[in-house]
Structure 1
Amino acid sequence: MSRSEEESTSNLMKKKGLGWIEWLRGWFNVIYEMLFQRIMASHLENPMPLPPLPQDFTCIITGSTSGIGREIARQLAEAGAHVVMAVRNTKAAHELILKWQHDWSGKGLPLNIEVMELNLLSLDSVARFAEAWNARSGPLHVLINNAGIFSIGEPQKISKDGFEEHMQVNHLAPALLSVLLLPSLIRGSPSRIVNVNSIMHQVGFVDTEDMNVVTGKRKYTSLVGYSGSKLAQVMFSSVLHKRLPAEAGISVVCVSPGIVQTNVARDLPKIVQTGYRLIPYFIFSPEEGSRSALFAATDPQIPEYCEMLKSDEWPVGAFISQECRPTNPSEEAHNLETSSRVWEKTLEMIGLPSDTVEKLVEGQDVKCKYGSDDSHQD
């Protein structure tokens, strides 16, 4: 058999979607979490008690003007950290800061919070943000990729960069931000990248030859777009963590916040929104949903846990459940071949060379096709 025939046969054998057993198992996990998450997390305090953080402990948080991100930003700031709200709506962020400062008045030092503009629907905006931050030459201790979209029932939307919007906001933009900020994260070592993921990755599938779901091989729905983008983030995070040498001192963690009542609910069908209001016992508040990300950002044992998972025998990176305990992501997330292809395809889509991580760790310049014309990282 010729090489081209072998490749053709291999392509035919590639999975076109989740098997029905994986699909059923995934939905079982989703439903189980919704029904029992409050019981499983009953040992957690709310709000999550945080250790005092030094004022130079710097955290960048995307999507921090609403929902989980807002709670993460407020609580880290109240714990003493220097919080950077990386958001599209800077006016809303400044208004929040004024309110938080007023509420905090008299309890301690003024909150150390600043705002920087970042639009995840523009990879140019992401690259410019990273370039501006790295130019400060200061350390970054925690990057929390929290912003995401789940446009339930909406028709497929393609960003100006040419990517399906769920895939761009939930995976591609956070991936670009994480990689480009590696120089600052290395300066802040030991540091962490915390990706706020979702239990819905359990029913996700990624076709690396059709990341935008436009070829017709699979019918596009918002659920397909969302769950696939969250799975892609888990896969990319696993490979990123394995490619980062121990001496870089960067831990990469994905977390599930649980089933949370956030602004996503406004995009749900009316009947589902009614269900959300009828079963508040099962649904976490944003404050409760923020606990796993806060735990991943501050718990002293996270670096040790992440380093343990670097072993060759373990195919995936760190994943923290909504009850703030290590857990396994989906079976599909353990697919090493697909994860490797997701890594390669993602770097291609976000305009970075395949050896980007290695070069940045060594302190070399890397060209990115997004951002300013001479965009590079030191």
Structure 2
Amino acid sequence: MEWIRGWACVFHEFLFQRFMSSHLPNPLSLPPLSHLTCIVTGSTSGIGRETARQLAEAGAHVVMAVRNTKAAHDLIQQWQRDWSAKGLPLNIEAMELDLLSLDSVVNFSIAWNARLAPLHVLINNAGIFAMGEEQKFSKDGYEQHMQVNHLAPALLSLLLLPSLNRASPSRIINVNSVMHYVGFVDPDDMNVVSGRRKFTSLVGYSGSKLAQVMFSNVLFKRLPLESRISVVCLSPGIVLTNVARDLPRSVQVQYALIPYFIFSPQEGCRSSLFSATDAQIPEHCEKLKTGDKPICTFISQDCKHTKPSEEAQNVETANRVWEKTVELIGLPLDALERLLQGQELAEAGAHVVMAVRNMKAANELIQQWRTKWSASVGTMYDDFVLQSNGIWIAMLSAYCH
């Protein structure tokens, strides 16, 4: 029955999204955002591209976190030329981030945290839907949909918590999908390799989106109220470049024949921009946090507060997804608490010890931080706390600043 209701929600959004969002301007009107720093992943095409451009044009400092930095720099130059006639340059830059590599996520986080800069909005926009393709795995060993759509954004969100906490109030925005309504997640088989379920790209995509909502619910619940970090998931609607760019060419052609129902990227990014800038989001999240069953807010394609699927609100499964996710990305179960505590200790002037294997890298980071901050940071060698994939080292580096 839940599966039937899920598909009903999918088809309802497809058929009526344009009608339901008819009250929204296109493009969405934004207030001046010169006080915000925003990271947008996957921002060289589609929804992410429009999101980054419009945030920058509203005055925000925008970081395009992308795999193809050349394409990003080309876009930045184009936007700067287009905007130069108005007299003010855009405050926008590009940094390399490949979500198919957890090492890349770690390196990005270290580089960003070394700046000791506040991060007001993290928009986990990048995603993949390789429809019709055979099952593929990243070099980290994880099914590609699960890694790009869930595991890598989860790791990025956790490792950037010190920067988000510094900017409080701040927001973690996850560009999700109505397809999470038809998803299923087995925390013991997130790679879908046990044989209990037959893998299809739809199974991979919808399951990864459901996992992201579940993880976001637990993250929202575990973040202390005083951190003032809002967690938001959203549906952009059915957008050609959001889903169909990875479809077979013949399907893309059919997809493009129904333009009335399909959002353009400019229309699809409205829920992202709303989630990142609406002044009522923090208050709404605070009310949800004090509820009986804390769940993060879910913003629909028409920029209204709604709830995720019933399955996404399954507390027992969500907690298991949280635990398995943290395990797969190489962090301890109390990573969130340690990250927030470490950031607070360092900013309070405490002596913070970095337990690392790579002393040279740690000392280089310390030298960078000492030029910007007054905290006293020392190093020691302690191989016991290290994970084999090295991510725990990076997490220590990220929070001990």
The TM-score with structure 1 as length reference comes to 0.92
Give the aligned residue type for 2:204.
G
Query: Deviation of residue 64 (structure 1)?
Result: 0.2
Aligned mates of 1:31, 1:188 — CA distance in 2: 39
Whether the 8 Å CA contact 2:105–2:152 is kept in 1: the answer is: yes
SS in structure 2 at match of 1:49: coil
Aligned mates of 1:78, 1:194 — CA distance in 2: 19
Whether the 8 Å CA contact 1:151–1:222 is kept in 2: the answer is: yes
Query: Deviation of residue 261 (structure 1)?
Result: 1.2
SS in structure 2 at match of 1:218: coil
Larger RCO, structure (CA 8 Å, separation 6 or more): 1
Aligned mates of 1:374, 1:152 — CA distance in 2: 36
Whether the 8 Å CA contact 2:235–2:301 is kept in 1: the answer is: yes
Q: Which residue of 2 aligns with 1:57?
A: 36
Identity of aligned residues (%): 71
- Give CA-to-partner distance per residue, 1:158-180, whole Å, 9 cap, x none: 11001000000000000000000
Whether the 8 Å CA contact 1:241–1:251 is kept in 2: the answer is: yes
Q: Which residue of 2 aligns with 1:32?
A: 12
SS in structure 2 at match of 1:25: helix
2:15 corresponds to 1:47: no
Query: Deviation of residue 268 (structure 1)?
Result: 2.0
Match runs of 1:273-292 below 5 Å: 273-292=252-271
Q: Which residue of 2 aligns with 1:297?
A: 276
Instruction: Pick one of 213, 217, 226 that aligns with 2:205.
Output: 226
Q: Which residue of 2 aligns with 1:5?
A: none
Aligned mates of 2:269, 2:107 — CA distance in 1: 28
Query: Deviation of residue 46 (structure 1)?
Result: 0.3
Query: Deviation of residue 323 (structure 1)?
Result: 0.3
Aligned mates of 1:165, 1:270 — CA distance in 2: 21
Aligned mates of 1:124, 1:313 — CA distance in 2: 38
The TM-score with structure 2 as length reference comes to 0.86
Whether the 8 Å CA contact 1:235–1:333 is kept in 2: the answer is: yes
Aligned mates of 1:57, 1:277 — CA distance in 2: 36
2:137 corresponds to 1:136: no
Q: Which residue of 2 aligns with 1:342?
A: 321
Q: How many residues align?
A: 357
Whether the 8 Å CA contact 1:352–1:368 is kept in 2: the answer is: no
- Give CA-to-partner distance per residue, 1:18-62, whole Å, 9 cap, x none: xxx1111000000000000000000000001100112x4110010
Aligned mates of 2:234, 2:170 — CA distance in 1: 16
The 3 A distance-change label for structure 1 pair 371 and 285 is farther
Query: Deviation of residue 155 (structure 1)?
Result: 0.2
Give the aligned residue type for 1:151.
A
Aligned mates of 1:187, 1:267 — CA distance in 2: 37
Aligned mates of 1:258, 1:342 — CA distance in 2: 25
Whether the 8 Å CA contact 1:315–1:336 is kept in 2: the answer is: no
Q: Which residue of 2 aligns with 1:360?
A: 339
Whether the 8 Å CA contact 2:221–2:294 is kept in 1: the answer is: no
- Structure 2's unaligned 5+ residue stretches are 344-353, 356-384
Query: Deviation of residue 106 (structure 1)?
Result: 1.8
Whether the 8 Å CA contact 1:185–1:191 is kept in 2: the answer is: yes
- Give CA-to-partner distance per residue, 1:265-324, whole Å, 9 cap, x none: 233244532332221000000000000010000000000111111124134211000000
Match runs of 1:143-292 below 5 Å: 143-262=122-241, 264-292=243-271
